[in-house]
Structure 1
């Protein structure tokens, strides 16, 4: 069954209905993170349409009859007992599922759709005369502020990936390839409670200067600085994401000095997090430390991203984002410095905004770990 009680999903659906009604636009949600968030239904979007329809008067789920089994492990069977009526309409090959969606819309001429709706299903809705917009304004608001059940899962995910980083010194050794290290880390990620390793970056030496390097057959050498960025989902679907940087032997004075500045920058952004502070101000807090030390040009990306059922979701901690953070939001704080052809470093924690600051869910040491 779903990881959370049906009452949690009933509350989310009701809130989505309130927000969509206020916006004056019904919602059409197909399989993806938004459907999982609202109903616990975890499914892929295939050529047969599955769609949750939310209007001001009710909730309906259009689903292929041959895929009804996906509902049994979701919150859907328990919604009635939680006080929410969700009408399920199944269809078989040869019937028109888009007509069923239109029927649920009760004459509405415009809808808001989740951004995961594929063109395969979006175009038929447009062909039937519907005006379509993204439901981002509604769904973003819902998913950015985590409820108590989500926060508990993010804490568990943070602890799980911390246990993996605690094992990295056993795995990361001179003479091994990045790929060999990544394979062992992948096994550890699953052993420590994740369902799969969603991503693994082992960036050694010059590869560490590429923020999105994954793995290669490069052999790790004495003197390398190695960036290890790892994460994945728990059985609930909530994700971990944490980066630590390792040194294969004592680093040079220059590397140690620059890394110490990065530590201060990461700490400055974490310290800046509290309700009412804008995302761009949190970004600036750490970035300013790097700029003052002459390292600003080597910080190549935003400071962070939201996390939950998706590894990357709103809010984005970046210049130009004037959204004030709120208690319950969860996002990464991950400044990095990258020196092309030489080395790179990044420090990343997931933090949850509290009433008076923030709670990091990752607690492994932030310093350059010398192996």
Structure 2
């Protein structure tokens, strides 16, 4: 589900993007690359503030390890760069028209005969002809770009805070939407409108998993009617300007919860808090994952926890770092990610609690402040 509202400020100040391009060039050099080629997607938005979409005509940013960055774009799509930092940064834009070969334009902008990298969102439609034009196969720029994007600066954290506050306001209104007799789809439509009303520019997803549907972590919505006694998982998120996402899950129950449900949910609540408390600079992603997982295992609920504990968030809903077993990524101040353990009982019910946290110099800051307990709705 992607629903958008009227546009707001699309990017930060141009100085932010000048710094990012400079750091990307240094990172490319450190990785032994001659250049990075980035097509429309989250990485291009990170580097230029550009919201252009990818299609069959190539638009690409070329960031050489040495020298000035430049853009290759179809003349008929030049307007898609409007609002980006391209003009303010005085980047050269090499235009092309149908019948010309844009891949050779890119090739002329890449110095040397060494390695070049492409962003992971670049479609094969562009990757393969670019490799032909350069007579060598690219590597992925993911390892370079994720290092830049994983640690958020103050402006990015401020945007994530706005997103967290906005989605909290939607959860605070859940009694308006989640009512016995409505279908999951009807509830989701009401929530989507509220996400926009509360300050998001885009609705990214709405999950309403009532009763047995809550036991499917990837359930979205259906025409199932919400009934009394249902445990309901509500996972919602959207983007605020300039493109940073919220993502928050709370679990509700329609009427008095079954004591066994309440008991298991209380364990889940402790596990989620244990993982939040484990976050600080210098610990690994697996350390945080284990803080939640070990507690659930000890309570006999380990097999009911089917997924990782969390994922990074920013210009993408899911990005580095991933909070998962056996991931030895060392957490650093500025990293932002979800903490969202869940328990799932097929055919019966499920539950999940999710906050976005930011690593601080001494611990973490939670960007979601709604109560974590099993919320009773009548």
Q: For this structure pair, what is the TM-score category when the shorter chain's length is used for normalisation?
A: over 0.9
Q: Who is 2:242 aligned against?
A: 236
RMSD: 0.9
Are 1:77 and 2:96 matched, yes or no? no
Are 1:39 and 2:44 matched, yes or no? no
2:217 pairs, out of 211, 222, 234, with 211
Q: Who is 1:119 aligned against?
A: 124
- Number of positions where the alignment pairs a residue of Structure 1 with one of Structure 2: 366
Return the alpha-carbon distance in structure 2 between the equivalents of residues 359 and 120 of structure 1.
42
Return the alpha-carbon distance in structure 2 between the equivalents of residues 71 and 197 of structure 1.
23
Are 1:90 and 2:118 matched, yes or no? no
Return the alpha-carbon distance in structure 1 between the equivalents of residues 361 and 99 of structure 2.
54
Does the 8 Å contact 2:215/2:347 carry over to 1?
Answer: yes
Q: Who is 1:359 aligned against?
A: 365
Shift of 1:58: 1.9
Secondary structure at 1:201's aligned position in 2? strand
Shift of 1:130: 2.2
Shift of 1:96: 1.1
Are 1:3 and 2:11 matched, yes or no? yes
Q: Who is 2:269 aligned against?
A: 263
Q: Who is 2:4 aligned against?
A: none
Return the alpha-carbon distance in structure 2 between the equivalents of residues 297 and 319 of structure 1.
14
Does the 8 Å contact 2:52/2:81 carry over to 1?
Answer: no
Secondary structure at 1:48's aligned position in 2? coil
2:227 pairs, out of 221, 227, 237, with 221
Shift of 1:17: 0.4
Q: Which runs of 4+ in 1 moved over 6 A?
A: none
> What pairs up with 1:253-292 in 2 under 5 angstroms?
253-292=259-298
Are 1:58 and 2:64 matched, yes or no? no
1:133 pairs, out of 139, 149, 160, with 139
**Does 328-337 or 15-24 show the bigger shift?**
15-24
Return the alpha-carbon distance in structure 1 between the equivalents of residues 75 and 212 of structure 2.
53
Return the alpha-carbon distance in structure 2 between the equivalents of residues 155 and 274 of structure 1.
18
Shift of 1:88: 1.4
Which deviations, in whole Å up to 9, do the C-alpha atoms of 1:23-61 show, x marking residues without a partner?
121100011100000001111111111111111222111
Secondary structure at 1:88's aligned position in 2? strand
2:28 pairs, out of 20, 25, 45, with 20
Return the alpha-carbon distance in structure 2 between the equivalents of residues 30 and 303 of structure 1.
30
Are 1:102 and 2:107 matched, yes or no? yes
**Does 102-111 or 45-54 show the bigger shift?**
102-111
Please list every run of 5 or more consecutive structure 1 residues that lacks an aligned counterpart in the other structure: 81-85
Does the 8 Å contact 1:27/1:113 carry over to 2?
Answer: yes
Shift of 1:62: 0.5
Return the alpha-carbon distance in structure 1 between the equivalents of residues 130 and 155 of structure 2.
35
Shift of 1:139: 0.3
**Does 118-127 or 300-309 show the bigger shift?**
118-127
Please list every run of 5 or more consecutive structure 2 residues that lacks an aligned counterpart in the other structure: 1-8
Secondary structure at 2:160's aligned position in 1? helix
Return the alpha-carbon distance in structure 2 between the equivalents of residues 339 and 106 of structure 1.
56
